[in-house]
Chains A and B, each alone.
Chain A
């Protein structure tokens, strides 16, 4: 069964600190992996998208990595800001249905001053 699991479920860090969020997936055959940011009460917004051949992609202070062999991805946030407080969702799609996304349940990040 195609699944996406994220850890930790929630995380609290101090402003200015770095953090790393994890994503493991069992989706096969793999097409691409996306990280979305979802602010409270809002729809998800895309941060990065990576295909099988990419192992790192950055978007400002966000850096995503992908290891397609171990089926793991991480999202690293550098020098966190209060506005980074949100849920971060890992989303994977399969080759045979690449517009049908499989969503993880997200990591809820709280950045404290």
Chain B
């Protein structure tokens, strides 16, 4: 079991560029989440999904989009990167309200 995997580990973007952060889990969890973690702050929920084909906004969804076509994958799309999106992004999964398992994170810098 690899758990939750994320790619890439690091990325530098220029303002206005777009990219997709990949997230895959092999635990057959229905629930998946995207968070961002800014320095000295708690994790903030960007988007979440309770199953394939179902997604919903979290606390800070502006500037991001998601899709959930399979149980395993939950990619996060940044369309027009802005410096405010410089952060560490974590994907997580869970079976309902149980423990959330986190991936290793993607460190994104927008210059």
Known: A99-B48, A100-B48, A100-B58. A43 touches B4 (CB 8 A): yes
Question: Given the complex, which residues of B lie within 8 Å of A43, measured CB to CB?
Answer: 4, 90, 92, 102-105
Question: Given the complex, which residues of A lie within 8 Å of B94, measured CB to CB?
Answer: 99
Stretch at the interface among B13-21, B39-47, B61-69, B76-84: B39-47
Task: Assess the B41–A93 pair: CB atoms within 8 A.
Answer: no
Question: Distance (Å) between the CB of B8 and the closest chain A CB?
Answer: 14
Known: A89-B42, A100-B48, A105-B42. A46 touches B105 (CB 8 A): no
Question: Distance (Å) between the CB of A45 and the closest chain B CB?
Answer: 7
Return the CB mask of A41-74 against B: 1 if under 8 Å, else 0: 1111110010000000000000000000000000
Task: Assess the A103–B31 pair: CB atoms within 8 A.
Answer: no
Question: Given the complex, which residues of A lie within 8 Å of B109, measured CB to CB?
Answer: none
A-contacting residues of B (Cβ < 8 Å)? 4, 31, 33, 40-45, 48, 50, 58, 90, 92, 94, 96-97, 99-105
B-contacting residues of A (Cβ < 8 Å)? 4, 31-32, 34, 41-46, 49, 89, 93, 98-106
